[in-house]
A and B are shown apart, each in its own frame.
Chain A
């Protein structure tokens, strides 16, 4: 049944968007973290999405969709933003440098909020696609009644 491929694809997108949402949460949570295990302030993290062919399956449906290049999505890399940290003058801070500046993470809260909305909208769109595939498959089963 081809609908299961369709659901697999939507599910891959849901997983990818969830990963992205986790990274956004992490960025927002660490907006003021000046210390990390690697040293230095926290750096903004972002997911890199790649369109990948549907997983190798034995089913005929999977083979068919490979031929048609219907591709699912996967997070293939978690990118660390290389933009310079935000410098703030705080001479009393334990992590201040010789000039009294503290390096804060390069996280822009507004940017993260915008990304969060896109991620949640994409998530909803994929839920709708899953529901559509599900209802179509169930409708087909009604033929047997």
Chain B
């Protein structure tokens, strides 16, 4: 796709990040909703590592026979799309007597972190599109 050359992997990566962070938001909401449900264990979505490795090793990454070769542009788009994230159960250090493992403070911290990172991604995406618009117009 010629458009991919224009956008690079940045837009793909940011889009995927937004997707995963939205999913994570749902899981944090579920944890907060079940803060008093007996026997509930909190869950989290872990995807940073997967995203990183997807960025590094695209499907064509094997063709680099020399470390000084420059990887093919857009090679990792397909592998980026495959990243789904892992649903992990978070073990709590101090579980309540009813078997509930949700720590409200931890969840609130995660909620804030997720929100800030999401907003950061949106901001960068906005900036990216603005730059493209400027390039198209040819004016600053």
Contacts and interface: CB of A to CB of B under 8 A. Distances in A.
A137 to B, nearest CB: 9
A135 interface: yes
Chain B interface mostly: helix
B23 A2 contact: yes
B3 interface: no
B126 A6 contact: no
Given A50-B37, A143-B126, A68 B45 contact: yes
Contact of A133 (B25, B37, B107): B25
A135 B25 CA distance: 12
Interface string A97-121: 0000000000000000000001001
Interface string A119-145: 001100110111011011001101100
Interface stretch (B55-63, B66-74, B75-83, B114-122): B114-122
Interface of A: 1-3, 5-7, 9-10, 12-13, 16, 49-51, 64-65, 68-73, 118, 121-122, 125-126, 128-130, 132-133, 135-136, 139-140, 142-143
